[in-house]
A and B are shown apart, each in its own frame.
Chain A
Amino acid sequence: MAESENIVAETAEKIFADLADAQTINHDKQGAWKAPLWQALTEAGLPLSWVPDDLGGSGASLAEGFSVLNVAGRHAIAVPLAETMLAGWLLTQGKIASPEGEMTVVPASPKDRITLNADGSLSGRARGVPFAKDAKHFAVLASGNGGVSIALVDAAKCRIESSTGLGGDHNDTVALDKVQPVTTKPAPKSFDQTTVMLVGGVVRSLQIAGALEAMLDISVRYSNERVAFEKKISKFQAVQHNLARLAGESAAALAAATSAADTIASATSLDTDAVFLEAAAAKIRCSEAAEKGSGIAHQVHGAIGFTIEHILHRYSLRALAWRDDFGSESYWAVELGKLVAERGADDLWPLVASR
């Protein structure tokens, strides 16, 4: 990330370091850390980074917001920062002002659809919505006879079927049964559910890349402390090679995610092959890296990393959970494969080389 993007990211880094220390959080079974952290993030204007001043936000650039998400991934934070940022961005596309407080995006899966009824109400069911139970409002993408719309919905008006995901964070089903939204506006031209899923996928890719960086860091540190067979386990070649592979997966995730974020941040239209390739590829490659990388991190840690007392699971399970949001790697692989086949063999290299 360029230097200018670092001021916002540095602010986030400092807040996480002060108020979201992994050890402290891991031992705080009551979740007392959440409120002060959210308050600090809100005071710094981070949840509404992607909302311009006149719509109630702090008006940071896409690039600045993306760098915050990479940092958030490194801390595997369990408050809906990414979700609120994404919801604010979505509302902004419909020129809808963002309210205060936690938000999330509905739907969060490419297969779920929300319908805008003729009477202006919304109906539909969205599964796997991250932090729905914690959110005060939803940014909803809906389709109706008039095309695609963006709506702000009061969470209290929806039925939430509560559940938790792999990472232990809320991951709920949201049911809308003729819910009247607070506001509804038409989506911009050539903006649809795929657009939201692609941008959401890049958000998750950056978080996965961040979590992998953290897993590499704590695995390297642990291997330099733990002694077995009378030497540090970092001196065993098998362990070294495992960690080198983890570094490779972390690097691949970082490269894919930051490249996709850079593409979206500098794009004039999100409806292009370039955006589709970059965003889909990032979600696919980062999800693959999450599997391989978290597996190695656990292997290096041995039994201690499998305990609830150790912080490793905060990163490993969230990285694995994030694979599923906004379209899994299998989903995007099918979609990318179809696009490549449609364009044809001789256009594949020009597409890859165009990035």
Chain B
Amino acid sequence: MTAALRFDPIRLPEKCEQLRKEVRAFLAEEIAAGTFDPHAPNREDNDAPEFSRRVGAKGWLGMTWPKKYGGQERSFLERYVVTEEMRVANAPTRRFFVADRQSGPVLLKYAPEHIKMDILPRICRGEVCFAIGMSEPNSGSDLFAAKTRATKTDGGYLINGTKIWTSSAHIADYMIAIFRTSPPTKENRRHGLTQFLVKMKQPGIQVNPIGQITGQFEFNEVVFTDYFVPDDHVLGEVDGAWKQATSELAYERSGPERFLETYYVLTELVRAVGKNPDTRSAEGIGRLVAQVHTMRRMSVSVAGMLQAGKEPVVEASIVKDIGTVWEQQLPHRVRDLAAFVEETATNRETLEKQLDFAIKTAPKLTIQGGTTEVLRGIIARGLGLR
């Protein structure tokens, strides 16, 4: 076989189910207290600093990290349960999600000890928000075209240039960004980029909000003007960012957030259809449930293989490819079926509002965090086609 794809039928261990109960109970309390409305994913203010601290107090942030940095040394499968329950409940995770999934692990691997000791415990307490500075006005999928410069100066670097589409930059305390420290070489166009830890809310950084078609302002333009970054904020090898962050990408690509972003419309459709669906509704719901179940089984399988120390890089890319295409199509399929919902369904208005928002959200799902085209290129490489 050219391509031996593996999706072992991994089950979440028993201790995950106890944890799931705890997370559900916590979320139910938060909903009862009015922290968020699980039926309204389109709330304006998805930033919930107090909620973030309470999640941290539960020990559910940085939960796989070493205890000396505030972590719990729990498994990735346990983290998986927390993530999927938060996502399905439409909990306001914006403030901590990026730090917990992505930025923390990068710091763990590449930051000097004193920075780890300073920042990681605060991530675990839900106190700090991170952004990721990758895209630039002329560098999106083609990451290695980045031009924002980091020029060496006494004790650090001066940053000049612009990052764009930076989610949460307007509320973030830190950004992990890549800047150009050298020009690319003839042999290696990926050479010359370096990863930095950037402290936000400082002079020299201007954050300009960008409105989205959903009506939200969650991403931004970030302009750097002679912004100083000290030497100890370099993460990893100077000019060698391209060598970093490959294995971590598997976690980022295969998590439950890659197919559950519009899941709420399916729940609401089932509510609207009621106990005795007609054949068309039953068939439509049955197919969607079969598809989401399969996506989740694939995603859990990748999480389990990662936990076991395997490197399912192609499998993880497949999860993101078909997961995001699925969650993108979901609101349209639910809309097809909603056309036949009885006028008397009590949640009709809720469903319509959700569909309106989910259909507006849908286009971004196959773009953010690696476009479908890029992912299919990675899968093709894994198949031996390039």
A residues apposed to B, CB below 8 Å: 1, 213, 216-217, 220-221, 223-224, 234-235, 237, 239-241, 243-245, 247-252, 254-256, 258-259, 261-263, 277-278, 280-282, 284-285, 288, 329-330, 332-338, 340-342, 344-346, 348-349, 352-353, 355
Residue B353, interface by CB 8 Å: no
B289 touches A352 (CB 8 A): yes
User: Is there an interface contact between A336 and B318, defined as CB atoms closer than 8 Å?
Assistant: no
Neighbouring B residues of A235 by C-beta, 8 Å: 385-386
**Contact between B380 and A244 (Cβ–Cβ < 8 Å)?**
yes
Which residues on the B side are within 8 Å of A345 (C-beta)?
A: 267-268, 270-271
Tell me whether A244 and B321 are in contact in the complex, defined as CB-CB below 8 angstroms, given that A217-B3, A281-B289, A341-B285 are known contacts.
Answer: yes
| Contact across chains for B294 and A255 when beta carbons are under 8 A apart | yes
B281 contacts which chain A residues (CB < 8 A)?
Answer: 337, 341
- Neighbouring B residues of A281 by C-beta, 8 Å: 289-290, 293-294
Rounded to whole angstroms, the CA-CA distance of A271 and B33 in the bound complex is 39
Distance to closest chain B CB from A183 (angstroms): 35
Q: Hey, which chain A residues are within 8 Å of B3, CB to CB?
A: 216-217, 220, 247
Listed by A's residue number, 25 A-B pairs whose Cβ atoms lie within 8 Å are A213-B5, A216-B3, A217-B3, A220-B384, A223-B385, A240-B376, A240-B380, A248-B318, A249-B322, A251-B298, A252-B294, A256-B290, A258-B7, A261-B9, A262-B11, A281-B289, A285-B293, A335-B286, A338-B286, A340-B270, A341-B285, A345-B270, A348-B270, A349-B267, A353-B20
CB contact under 8 A between A337 and B284, given known A258-B7, A349-B88 = yes
Q: How far is the CA of A280 from the CA of B291 in the complex (A)?
A: 11
- B274-A250 in contact (CB<8A): no
Which residues of the other chain, B, contact A247 by a CB distance below 8 angstroms? 3, 5, 314, 318, 379, 382-383
Task: Select which of B267, B285, B292, B297 is within 8 A of A259 by beta carbon.
Answer: B297
Q: What is the CB-to-nearest-CB distance from A349 to chain B, in angstroms, rounded to a whole number? A: 5
Q: How far, in Å, is B305 (CB) from chain A's closest CB? A: 12
Residues of A within 8 A of B382 (CB): 247
Q: What distance in Å separates the Cβ of A194 from its nearest Cβ neighbour in chain B?
A: 15
Q: How far is the CA of A352 from the CA of B300 in the complex (A)?
A: 12
Report Cα–Cα, A284/B288, bound state, in Å: 10
Tell me what chain A mostly uses at the interface: helix, strand, loop, or mixed: helix
Q: Select from chain B the residue with minimum beta-carbon distance to A214.
A: B1
Q: In the complex, what distance in Å separates the CA atom of A51 from the CA atom of B263?
A: 43
Q: Which residues of B357-386 are within 8 A (CB) of A?
A: 373, 375-377, 379-380, 382-386
The interface residues of chain A lying within 8 Å CB-to-CB of B285 are 333, 336-337, 340-341
A221–B294 touching, CB < 8 Å: no
The answer, yes or no, to whether B277 is at the interface (CB within 8 Å) is yes
Query: Please, how many angstroms separate the alpha-carbon atoms of A334 and B286 in the complex?
Result: 6
Cβ-closest chain B residue relative to A237: B377
Other contacts beyond A244-B379, A256-B294, A337-B287: 12, CB < 8 A: A240-B377, A245-B376, A247-B314, A333-B287, A336-B286, A337-B282, A341-B270, A341-B275, A344-B270, A344-B271, A349-B267, A352-B296
A20 CB, nearest partner CB in chain B, Å: 16
Q: Which residues of B257-313 have CB atoms within 8 Å of chain A's CB atoms?
A: 263, 266-268, 270-271, 273-277, 279, 281-287, 289-298, 301
What is the minimal beta-carbon distance from B6 to any residue of chain A, in angstroms?
8
